[in-house]
Amino acid sequence: MNNSSVAQLVKGLRERQYSSVEVTRSYLDRIAAMDVHYNSYISVDEAAAIAAAEAADKRLAAGDAPPLTGVPIAHKDIFCTDGMRTSCGSRMLDNFVPPYDATVIQRFKADGAVVLGKTNMDEFAMGSSNESSFYGPARNPWNTELVPGGSSGGSAAAVAGWLAPAATGTDTGGSIRQPAAFCGITGLKPTYGRVSRLGIVAFASSLDQAGPMAHSAEDCALLLNTMAGHDPRDSTSSNAATEDYSSRLGDDLDGLRIGLPREYFSDGLDAATRQCVDYALQELESQGAILVDVSLPHSALTVPTYYIIAPAEASTNLSRFDGVRYGYRCDDPVDLHDLYTRTRGEGFGEEVKRRILVGTYALSAGYYDAYYKKAQQVRRLIKQDFMNCFDSVDIIAGPTTPGPAFALGTKSNDPIAMYLEDVYTLAVNLAGLPGISVPAGFVEDKPVGLQLIGRHFHEAQLLNVAHRFQQATDWHLRSPDFATGEQH
């Protein structure tokens, strides 16, 4: 049961090969033994996890067991969990214990899954390396000198290091796909609105989206089946029909048209990473897909557009942290103004403050039209580029990141270099499209991700292409030696 996929665990639990308590216990033991190396979890509540596993075993015995009954799943510490601390990687929420579950958590509980723990992340999901976490950086299980990526770096590290069979993440500009690529796992960002945002600490409300992170597309499909669906309590949640995301995994790729945007294969792309992506594309071609040259002409504008829109929305969302209702409050405030400014000055980390200030600037009187409105107009041009491509291709493919994982500390003092890590992922959020990162090889023992981008609400197609690729390759089955215990 160790190193089993979610699909195997579902089967093994149903066939009573092992109990949920046994599976959950084995993961808790591994976390206790190994997470000192990865720092992938912020909170683990062993007693609650075992109690949930015992309840799951009763349901399995009674034959009344929904799809994920007894499967332990880790959640990014951005999802509110009733009675369990939800820190969002920040000092501001270090003491925050929500009195309710996020809709995503509710849905996992309703489908029988066990909450294994809450994973490390960049503070308020702002970062691409996990280094902005108040709890210290998570580390990449392939090499603990490397970052796991971010912001869902703890989820990616936990899955890659087999400290969870699967995890949830959120993706505002690449925060599921980039760490999935860096850690050699599969991560899906669904279409904007496909998964409820209720109870997810808000960063940029027109970009945020939650999704699954697991070893395979097959497992991501199982998780998405639970996560996806309309939520009347999230006014931006889509009421477009969901489907069984597992049902089309095996469809053949004959005649599938895959667009390769030339802007994603240009000078900024590491040569060895490009080679991995090229081999992956050849594999898809050998299965009958047709590779088509396409262009996303506004690609160079995605980083500037994103770094207006995301900070502007963040500055609005994070105004709620005032030291009055919940979270951090400074000591001995002399007046209300002192309470606000010192609570926020002390409670937020450097990158979060920087983005709030940029956003406040972009939204302030006299600058709104030049920055925020301008960025919203360019955002439409960026989306239109994708829509034009989808007139002639079914999906778009390219690298997830410009290169493999970098060493801790190399970019943490250069915000703009860090922002450029997301150069291939940001546009997908701006356009609201689904995107998936799939393991596609290694550069000097560091994993590389292939990114596939689909039409709105075509998650099943992305999962189908990713699954067919994984049927023919074994990159997603590789594990770091550390995790398999071979070095011990």
Partner 1 sequence: MKIEQNEIEKIAELARIRISDSEIGQVTSRITEILQMVDALQAVDTRDIEPMANPLDATQHLRPDKVTESNRRDAFQAIAPSVENGLYLVPKVIE
Q: Which residues are catalytic?
A: 76, 151, 175
* CA–CA separation, 333 and 345 (whole Å): 13
x/- mask, partner 1, residues 178-207, rule CB under 8 A, reads -------------xxx------------xx
Strands (E), 156-299: 166-170, 186-189, 210-214, 257-261, 290-294
- Would you say 59 or 230 has its CB closer to partner 1? 230
> Which window, 129-137, 260-268, 369-377, 390-398, contacts partner 1 (CB under 8 A)?
369-377
Residues 6+ apart with CB under 8 A from 114: 20, 24, 49, 52, 53, 56, 70, 71, 72, 73
* CA–CA separation, 424 and 388 (whole Å): 18
Q: Could you say which residues in the range 228-247 bind partner 1, by CB under 8 A?
A: 232, 235-239
SS3 call for 46: helix
Q: Could you say which residues in the range 91-120 bind partner 1, by CB under 8 A?
A: 96-99
Q: Does 345 bind partner 1 (CB under 8 A)?
A: yes
**Parallel, antiparallel, or unpaired: how do β-strands 114-119 and 166-170 relate?**
unpaired
Alpha helical stretches, state H, 193-264: 217-227
- Would you say 12 or 432 has its CB closer to partner 1? 432
Size (the chain), residues: 488
- Would you say 193 or 441 has its CB closer to partner 1? 193
Q: Tell me, what DSSP letter sits at residue 145?
A: T
Q: Which of 245, 348, 390, 406 binds partner 1 (CB under 8 A)?
A: 348
- Would you say 274 or 411 has its CB closer to partner 1? 411
Q: Could you say which residues in the range 394-453 bind partner 1, by CB under 8 A?
A: 415-416, 419, 429-433
> Which window, 19-27, 214-222, 337-345, 459-467, contacts partner 1 (CB under 8 A)?
337-345
> Which window, 49-57, 281-289, 315-323, 389-397, contacts partner 1 (CB under 8 A)?
315-323
Q: Which of 26, 303, 410, 473 binds partner 1 (CB under 8 A)?
A: 303
Both tokens of 287, joined, read 């299965």
- Would you say 247 or 377 has its CB closer to partner 1? 377
Q: Does 375 bind partner 1 (CB under 8 A)?
A: yes
Q: Does 390 bind partner 1 (CB under 8 A)?
A: no
For partner 1 (CB under 8 A), the number of binding residues is 74
The nearest distance, CB 374 to partner 1, in angstroms, is 5
SS3 call for 258: strand
* CA–CA separation, 183 and 405 (whole Å): 8
**Closest among 471, 406, 472 to 443, alpha carbons compared:** 406
Q: Does 18 bind partner 1 (CB under 8 A)?
A: no
Residue 449 falls in which region: left (phi positive, over 0), alpha (psi -120 to 50) or beta: beta
**Parallel, antiparallel, or unpaired: how do β-strands 290-294 and 114-119 relate?**
unpaired
Q: Could you say which residues in the range 36-75 bind partner 1, by CB under 8 A?
A: none
Q: Does 163 bind partner 1 (CB under 8 A)?
A: no
Instruction: Map tokens 């023992």 to a residue.
Output: 445
Q: Does 286 bind partner 1 (CB under 8 A)?
A: no
